[in-house]
Amino acid sequence: MIIKGRYVIHNGIPKPLYITDGWSLDDIASVEDCDRAQALLVKAITSLERTTKAAETMPDDVDRRWLHRAAMALQCKQAALTEVEKIRAELVGNPAAAAV
């Protein structure tokens, strides 16, 4: 898995980073969208961090595949949050786009 800009490349296939099911970074059109996306991503990141940290303290009881998938999801959510911040900066820097 490689994260490149607004996409994650898995097995050579680029897929958009998602904020939540059905809502990708490409769907953000306003500062308000950025604010909502940021709130959702921070909540998801916090939950993933808490869950993976708890799972790591119980090494015998954890499915390693699940832990790996959770770590990949955390990376994707963190990358999406970074991209949301960039999109927000673009929108704020361009008053015409921010007014949409």
Q: What are the tens digits of pLDDT across the range 66-94?
A: 888 899 999 999 999 999 999 999 999 86
Residues 6+ apart with CB under 8 A from 37: 19, 23, 25, 28, 80, 84
| 30 has a pLDDT exceeding 90 | yes
Burial degree of 4 (CB within 10 A; 0-12, 13-18, 19+): exposed
* 56 pLDDT more than 90: no
**What phi and psi values does residue 39 have, to the nearest 5 degrees?**
-60, -45
Note the pTM of the prediction, 2 decimals.
0.82
Q: Please report the pLDDT score of residue 29 as a whole number.
A: 94
Q: Could you tell me the residue range of the domain that residue 24 belongs to?
A: 2-98
pLDDT over 90 at 45, yes or no: yes
pLDDT at residue 57 above 90? no
